[in-house]
């Protein structure tokens, strides 16, 4: 299943087309309620008599909530399901009579002036389902809606306080008996009410959901901050909308999923040797930033590439060689530990043997390094250079290579530019004119700000718009890092990652990402696919590392160590 990302206008058009194709609005609502109920039942399955409060709004989001509540009760007779209505439902609502028939408790906000009933309902709940507003909202929230959400927050605080008072002290908080099963969960239908589904802006009274179940497609606002912070874990239920609905099919923005990444990864041939899986060259490191090259090289190796070489100033290689025994080295001429003029010639003697190239991590931004970068980018690719051997620690004969003098054909292999490489680009006017086709740039928001001349806030506010526009303007692949990393290419495709994980917000994880991408590129993946798969596996590894170590303590090396778990989970033996 390919998961699309839409704005609300596109979603309305898809709904109408699905209705036209024979899936009525009511059918969609019932399937939406079914999907939300499935998640809700999982959230309460450990409780013997769970109490569930469903907040119901006036529109279809409220309708989804009514179906959800009814289905929870149907599936779990022991559940105490009660509804809190912001306003009277429309006269023709088909679900209200059923709720009365089944005898479930309902309260109406206008009968609950001080919202004490609501506060008590929430304070005694194990699960609160937020079905007040979905994509039909127009901010700001009106008074009564804001009052209801504030009362819910007070109810949640009451619950927390009661729990704290009941607490038992223990030297290990995880062992305190009252900790187990204490928290009330919040499940948002389509998103926390108060979220702007197009921009990610969110009303200050909105609840912070543990989980959101959304329908047919993800919405931009669920992936943009600050709103994304309150969305929690996102599930997308496609509601059986057929692929032929062209309003859905034509959407170019997608949310990447594990199955898609697994399909992208190159197959592994058993009858192989290290030459089979490509060779990655990493130009990285300088005396002040030694570790970057190491992280990138180790990460590249974990991607399954046959060989990784690091080209770096000689003293850097000297410091790192023992830490990455698998890497081979190309020792570039240097001045005080920074590559010097002359490095370019040596680079071109070597590069013909490699199937992918990464330039940038930890290189510094000295003038000579900048010259080196642009000479590499501007190299006359037809120019032959005389062959010379004996560089580096390993005088590497290309494994199983029948044409071992590829140095003659010194065309650049597929290229990734990261970190200082990007910073050096941004110092030059119209730098994008120097890039070979299909180059992958991997800026974080700060580097993107430098490349675009915008502020970081401007970049973050319109991540999708800016990354798509610049990929076209610069005719290159851009991977914009951060929570919900985006990858865009000139032809209009844009892919978002589902991950937001503060465990990755630690120095060096960017080098790990760049190494992983160049490793995949070297194995022959198409550049856009390598960027997407690399970003996914990197963030997925971050999830494994966070699970094992807790997000606070994860460091970049842990992400490298967790890469094998990520690969194994995607492609089980």
Ligand X SMILES: Nc1ncnc2c1ncn2[C@@H]1O[C@H](COP(=O)(O)OP(=O)(O)O)[C@@H](O)[C@H]1O
Number of residues that bind ligand NPW (CB under 6 A): 28
User: How is residue 471 written in tokens?
Assistant: 């990929």
Measured distance between the N- and C-terminal CA atoms of the chain, rounded to whole angstroms: 22
Q: Which does 64 bind (CB under 5 to 8 A by kind): K ion, ligand X, ligand NPW, none?
A: ligand NPW
Distance from C-alpha of 511 to C-alpha of 393, rounded to nearest angstrom: 23
- Choice from 294, 485, 495, 523 touching ligand X (CB under 6 A): 485
- Choice from 285, 291, 414, 482 touching ligand X (CB under 6 A): 482
- Choice from 215, 464, 499, 528 touching ligand X (CB under 6 A): 499
Distance from C-alpha of 6 to C-alpha of 506, rounded to nearest angstrom: 31
* Binding of ligand X by 379 (CB under 6 A): no
- Whether a cis peptide bond, with omega within 30° of 0, leads into 226 is yes
* Binding of ligand NPW by 187 (CB under 6 A): no
**Interface of this chain with ligand NPW, residues 20 to 49, rule: CB under 6 A:** 28-29, 32
Residue nearest ligand X, CB atom distance: 510
Residues ≥6 apart with Cβ < 8 Å to 200: 220, 221, 222, 223, 224, 225, 226, 227, 228
* Binding of ligand X by 463 (CB under 6 A): no
- Choice from 10, 130, 190, 418 touching ligand NPW (CB under 6 A): 190
Q: Which is nearer to ligand NPW, 145 or 516 (CB)?
A: 145
450 and 475 in contact (C-beta within 8 Å)?
no
* Binding of ligand X by 530 (CB under 6 A): no
- Choice from 130, 196, 420, 447 touching K ion (CB under 5 A): 130
By residue count, the chain amounts to 573
* Binding of ligand X by 298 (CB under 6 A): no
Question: Which x/- pattern, by CB under 6 A, does the window 45-84 give for ligand NPW?
Answer: ------------xxxxxxxx--------------------
* Binding of ligand NPW by 11 (CB under 6 A): yes
Within a 10 A sphere around the Cβ of 168, how many other Cβ atoms?
9
Q: Which does 60 bind (CB under 5 to 8 A by kind): ligand X, ligand NPW, K ion, none?
A: ligand NPW
User: How is residue 514 written in tokens?
Assistant: 């760049």
Distance from C-alpha of 98 to C-alpha of 119, rounded to nearest angstrom: 25
Task: Please check if 139 is assigned to a binding site.
Answer: yes
Q: Which does 58 bind (CB under 5 to 8 A by kind): K ion, ligand NPW, ligand X, none?
A: ligand NPW
Task: Please check if 276 is assigned to a binding site.
Answer: no
Distance from C-alpha of 530 to C-alpha of 264, rounded to nearest angstrom: 8
Q: Which ranges in 305-425 belong to alpha helices (H)? A: 314-320, 343-351, 367-378, 420-425
Q: CB 100 → K ion: shortest distance, Å? A: 23
Q: 3-class DSSP state for residue 392?
A: coil
Q: Which is nearer to K ion, 130 or 529 (CB)?
A: 130
Q: Determine the interface stretch with ligand NPW among 48-56, 120-128, 134-142, 469-477 (rule: CB under 6 A).
A: 134-142
* Binding of ligand NPW by 222 (CB under 6 A): no
Nearest CA among 291, 361, 339, 405 for reference residue 330: 339
Tokens 């057929």 correspond to 242
Q: Which does 28 bind (CB under 5 to 8 A by kind): ligand NPW, K ion, ligand X, none?
A: ligand NPW
Residues ≥6 apart with Cβ < 8 Å to 170: 176, 177
Q: CB 528 → K ion: shortest distance, Å? A: 34
Distance from C-alpha of 154 to C-alpha of 439, rounded to nearest angstrom: 52
- Choice from 481, 490, 520, 570 touching ligand X (CB under 6 A): 481
Reported in sequence order, the residue ranges of 268-337 that DSSP labels E, i.e. its strands, are 279-283, 307-313, 328-332, 334-335
Distance from C-alpha of 426 to C-alpha of 500, rounded to nearest angstrom: 27
Q: CB 454 → ligand X: shortest distance, Å? A: 17
Q: Which is nearer to ligand NPW, 144 or 345 (CB)?
A: 144
CA 15, 19, 21, 22 dihedral sign is positive
Distance from C-alpha of 81 to C-alpha of 526, rounded to nearest angstrom: 51
**Interface of this chain with ligand NPW, residues 520 to 559, rule: CB under 6 A:** none
Distance from C-alpha of 230 to C-alpha of 419, rounded to nearest angstrom: 30
Tokens 């851009």 correspond to 478
Distance from C-alpha of 230 to C-alpha of 212, rounded to nearest angstrom: 9
Residue nearest K ion, CB atom distance: 193
* Binding of ligand X by 118 (CB under 6 A): no
Distance from C-alpha of 527 to C-alpha of 538, rounded to nearest angstrom: 16
* Binding of ligand X by 539 (CB under 6 A): yes
Q: CB 506 → ligand X: shortest distance, Å? A: 7
**Which residues on neighbouring strands pair with residue 233, listed in sequence order?**
211
Q: Which is nearer to ligand NPW, 193 or 324 (CB)?
A: 193
User: How is residue 516 written in tokens?
Assistant: 């992983």
Neighbour-count burial for 43-58, b at 16+ CB within 10 Å, e otherwise: bbeeeeebbbbbbbbb
Q: 3-class DSSP state for residue 452?
A: helix
Distance from C-alpha of 84 to C-alpha of 100, rounded to nearest angstrom: 13
Nearest CA among 305, 350, 328, 348 for reference residue 394: 328
Question: Which x/- pattern, by CB under 6 A, does the window 416-435 give for ligand X?
Answer: ---x----------------
* Binding of ligand X by 508 (CB under 6 A): yes
Task: Please check if 379 is assigned to a binding site.
Answer: no
Q: Which is nearer to ligand NPW, 59 or 482 (CB)?
A: 59
* Binding of ligand X by 328 (CB under 6 A): no
* Binding of ligand NPW by 227 (CB under 6 A): no
Question: Which x/- pattern, by CB under 6 A, does the window 198-217 give for ligand NPW?
Answer: -----------------xx-
Q: Which is nearer to ligand NPW, 133 or 301 (CB)?
A: 133
Residues of this chain that interact with ligand X (CB under 6 A) are 419, 444, 481-483, 485, 499-502, 504-505, 507-511, 513, 538-539
Annotation: binding site: 60-64, 130, 134-140, 190, 193, 292, 362, 444, 481-485, 510-511
Residues of this chain that interact with K ion (CB under 5 A) are 130, 188-189, 193
Residues of this chain that interact with ligand NPW (CB under 6 A) are 11, 15, 28-29, 32, 57-64, 133-142, 145, 189-190, 215-216
């Amino acid at each position: 299943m390919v998961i699309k990302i839409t704005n609300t206008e596109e979603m309305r058009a898809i709904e109408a087309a699905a209705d036209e194709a024979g899936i009525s609005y009511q059918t969609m609502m019932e399937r939406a309620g079914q999907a939300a109920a499935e998640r809700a039942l999982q959230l309460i399955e450990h409780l013997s008599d769970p109490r569930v409060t469903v907040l119901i709004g006036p529109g279809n989001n409220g309708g989804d909530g009514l179906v959800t509540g009814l289905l929870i009760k149907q599936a779990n007779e022991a559940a105490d399901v009660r509804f809190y209505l912001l306003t009277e439902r429309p006269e023709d609502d088909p679900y209200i009579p059923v709720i009365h028939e089944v005898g479930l408790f309902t309260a109406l906000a206008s009968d609950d002036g001080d919202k004490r009933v609501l506060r008590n309902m929430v304070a005694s709940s194990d699960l609160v389902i937020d079905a007040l507003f979905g994509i039909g909202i127009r901010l700001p929230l009106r008074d009564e809606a804001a009052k209801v959400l504030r009362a819910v927050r007070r109810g949640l605080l009451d619950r927390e306080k009661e729990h704290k008072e009941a607490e038992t002290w223990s030297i290990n908080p995880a062992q305190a008996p009252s900790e187990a099963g204490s928290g009330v969960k919040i499940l948002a239908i389509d998103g926390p009410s108060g979220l702007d589904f197009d921009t990610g802006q969110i009303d200050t009274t909105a609840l912070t959901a543990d989980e959101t179940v959304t329908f047919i497609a993800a919405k931009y606002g669920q992936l943009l901050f600050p709103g994304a912070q309150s969305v929690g874990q996102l599930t997308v239920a496609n509601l059986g909308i057929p692929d032929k609905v062209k309003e859905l099919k034509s959407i170019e923005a997608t949310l990447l999923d594990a199955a898609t990444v697994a399909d992208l990864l190159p197959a592994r041939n058993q009858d192989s040797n290290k030459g089979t899986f490509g060779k990655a060259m990493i130009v990285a490191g300088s005396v002040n930033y030694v570790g970057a090259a190491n992280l990138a090289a180790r990460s590249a190796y974990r991607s399954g590439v046959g060989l990784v070489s690091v080209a770096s100033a000689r003293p850097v290689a000297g410091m790192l060689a023992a830490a990455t025994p698998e890497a081979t080295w190309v020792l570039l001429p240097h001045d005080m530990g920074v590559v010097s003029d002359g490095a370019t010639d040596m680079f071109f003697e070597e590069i013909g043997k490699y199937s992918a190239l990464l330039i940038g991590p930890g290189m510094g931004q000295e003038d000579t390094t900048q010259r080196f970068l642009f000479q590499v980018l501007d190299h006359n690719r037809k120019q032959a250079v005389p062959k010379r051997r004996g560089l580096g620690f390993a005088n590497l004969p290309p494994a199983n290579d029948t044409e071992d003098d590829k140095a003659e054909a010194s065309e650049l292999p597929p290229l990734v530019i990261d970190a200082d490489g990007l910073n050096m680009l941004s110092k030059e006017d119209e730098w994008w004119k120097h890039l070979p086709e299909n180059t992958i740039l991997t800026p974080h928001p700060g580097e993107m700000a430098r490349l675009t001349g915008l502020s970081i806030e401007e970049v973050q506010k319109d991540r999708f718009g800016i990354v798509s526009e610049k990929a076209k303007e610069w005719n290159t692949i851009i991977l914009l890092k951060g929570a919900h990393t985006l990858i865009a290419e000139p032809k209009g495709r844009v892919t978002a990652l589902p991950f937001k994980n503060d465990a990755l917000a630690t120095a060096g994880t960017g080098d790990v990402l760049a190494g992983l991408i160049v490793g995949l590129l070297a194995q022959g993946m198409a550049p856009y696919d390598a960027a997407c798969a690399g970003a996914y596996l990197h963030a997925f590894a971050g999830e494994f590392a966070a699970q094992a170590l807790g997000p606070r303590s994860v460091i970049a090396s842990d992400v490298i160590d967790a890469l094998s778990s990520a690969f194994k989970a995607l492609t089980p033996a």
